[in-house]
Structure 1
Amino acid sequence: MSPKQLILLLAACSRLSLSDAAGCFNPVPLWKGAACLHKDIRVPLTESVNLRAPCQSWTCVRLNATHGDLLVIKCVKVAARPPYVVQPGGNGVFPDCCPKPRRDPQYDGHWIR
């Protein structure tokens, strides 16, 4: 697990409010002592699983012999103003399924700030 993921996990699980983009299911049962189990989805210990539905990334960290912490990272809310628009998320897994700002072609070549 990267230092960035560990900081996000600690912040989310300790109830610090970084944003609406992170949360924590605590505790969740460990499946065979090797993976967090939540909503019939298994996430191997110290690994992340990027999902399509829901559009989230889940990371599992051992809490004790029978339970783990599950860090959930969601899409951030996106707003845009001209010359940008919000492009809906795609069909892929997280983060490709998240909405993104993109330049609106109607403004190409004639946008003045």
Structure 2
Amino acid sequence: MLKQGLSIPAVFAFGESTIDSGNNNGLATIFHADHPPYGRDFPGHVPTGRFSKVKLATDYLVSDLGIKDALPAYLSPRLTDRDLTTGVRFALGARAFIIIVI
């Protein structure tokens, strides 16, 4: 819970597979989550690039803060200018993680 009058406008996450939402999809790496069973519990039941079948902790964080529903991958082809100002995820599978809240 934030103090009255305070707001957090953006969240940027750096890390590994526990918070990766698709940054590995376009990279030459053996670590990919763009195939079943990944994404089976998301709308459309298709692989999302996330190393999870459900929302990630960082998605719940930005949703609870009222910023957006989910934190998108920086390398997503669907990334918008607004996403860049409200937060993105730089996480890559098989890396270490850090979350920065601005």
**Normalized against structure 2, the TM-score is what?**
0.23
- Report which of the two has the higher share of strand: 1
Which has the bigger relative contact order, CA under 8 A and spacing at least 6?
A: 2
Larger Rg: 1
